Amino acid sequence: MNKTLTLVGAFAALCLVTLDASATLVVKCETRTDRSRASVDGSNLVPGMYSARLSSGANTAQSPLAQTVGDEVAFDFDSNKRDIKKGATPIAKNFIVGGQATGTLLDANGAVVKSKTVNCRAR
């Protein structure tokens, strides 16, 4: 009986690792003279709570935890007050530097699920 439980536990852990390995991360960012904005969106995730971290140069911001909807979770970062009131994590208008940003998806324990660096659109 003990061996059976061990095998079942090992199989369950392997399934979770496989699902995390297939996680998809989409990071988009945009700069304007008076605004920075970005989104960090994960899919193919194990249901649960996640947060996102956005970094550019020496700047870093982290969202609060959010629950997956199906297998997806989405986070917005913005310097626009209207979007912040709608739930975006606040960042400074000059947050994005060097035309690049890195979005990182974290699980509820703070472990990195996936990370991606992208070039930001300048408008």
* CATH label of the domain that carries residue 63: 2.60.40.10
**Residue 99: CB partners within 8 Å, gap ≥ 6?**
31, 119, 120, 122
Domain count of the fold of the chain: 1
pLDDT tens for the chain, 123 residues: list them. 555 444 444 444 434 433 366 999 999 999 999 999 999 999 999 999 999 999 999 999 999 999 999 999 999 999 999 999 999 999 999 999 999 999 999 999 999 999 999 999 999
Domain extent at residue 12 = 2-122
**Are 119 and 28 in contact, with CB atoms under 8 Å apart?**
no
